[in-house]
Structure 1
């Protein structure tokens, strides 16, 4: 029986050996942790969030979407959505949109090189529905309940689903 154990140890060690880095020229998508450090610094360690990654500008690198809630962070109309990009100089904020609800999705259509984002809205006297946010060349609309955001019947491709918010944990 001893030789079998000796044989399994090298196999187990091989399974733990990291793979060599990819030679592909496209950088890997940013991981949750990159945005979480920024999020904790921006909104505080007691925030709750849900997140999703999606390539909004077609460059092969995902942007990060964070739906942020927690104590004192949401109103009757919803919570904030942050759209972030991981750059060589750190995290860049593409947009911060208030009073959003889940789910959040994207459409195949785009404006000024960025895909259209769809957020759910409702509460605070507003009927529940979806609004499309179109990039204006600088940012996405800050409030989905007023123009230029427009009603739409579909959520598109889901990026952040409904569900429990999770704490920022390090």
Structure 2
């Protein structure tokens, strides 16, 4: 009976110590993500420097199962979007730094990562209507090194997946890229 009590005490103590370690790991992750976001905002400011009313929506999500989250950025503003939608950018971290692997044109939220994989990457899906497009959902499939700028195909029903950028009502819901 004493051995059982000692064993249970040891198990409880071990779980307690492990839970403390987990919270330290989360803090380190948050600091790293903050640095990544700061870097990303710098890149976006360079790219959209002429468009002071630009806003963005950002989601970190692992699209290829490598344990490293990619940055999915929906860019919106009164000058940079057309009647069919706005651009969505995807950045992948490889070799320690991020590089842009997609600039999906004419996308509209919701934007999701489908449960389907092509070449080991999630199929990206955005709502599609306006600008002469047939209403439905645009699919973007990974092509080895990048996603194509234009949809791979239009489908009629939203597939199952994880919503990365939810539907929005007004562009000012996004984070201001520049402080006017």
Range of TM-score over shorter length = 0.7 to 0.9
Q: Distance in 1 between matches of 2:81 and 2:120?
A: 30
Relative to the length of structure 2, the TM-score reads 0.70
State the Cα deviation string for residues 13-43 of structure 1 (Å, max 9, x = none): xxxxxx99539xx998744333212111122
User: How big is the shift at 1:87?
Assistant: 4.0
Alignment-derived partner of residue 158 in structure 1: 163
1:39 aligns to what SS in structure 2? helix
Of the three residues 75, 92, 101, the one matched with 2:99 is 92
Provide the residue aligned with 2:75 in structure 1: 68
Q: Which runs of 5+ in 2 are unaligned?
A: 1-21
Contact 1:110 1:116 (C-alpha < 8 Å) held by counterparts: yes
* CA–CA separation in structure 2 for the residues paired with 1:39 and 1:65: 12
Q: Which residue of 2 aligns with 1:15?
A: none
Judge conservation of contact 1:81–1:100 (CA < 8 Å) in 2: yes
Distance in 2, matches of 1:149 and 1:93, equals 22
- Specify which structure has the higher proportion of helix: 2
Shift, 1:91, TM fit? 2.5
The size of the alignment, in residue pairs, is 147
**Over the residues paired in the alignment, what is the CA RMSD in angstroms?**
2.7
What residue number does 1:38 align with? 43
Shift of 1:89: 5.5
Structure 1 Cα separation of the partners of residues 145 and 125 of structure 2: 17
Q: For 1:20 and 1:92, locate their aligned partners in 2 and report how far apart those are by CA, in whole Å.
A: 30
Q: Which residue of 153, 156, 160 maps to 1:149?
A: 153
Distance 1:71 1:85 in 2: 27
1: CA distance between counterparts of 2:32 and 2:142? 21
Matched, 1:125 2:132: yes
Once the two structures are superposed, what CA deviation does each residue of 1:50-99 show, in whole Å capped at 9, x if it has no partner?
12111011011110011112142111110011001234563301111111
Contact 2:107–2:127 (CA<8 Å) still a contact in 1? yes
Structure 1 residue 122 displacement after superposition: 1.0
Q: Secondary structure at the match of 1:35?
A: helix
1:58 matches 2:65: yes
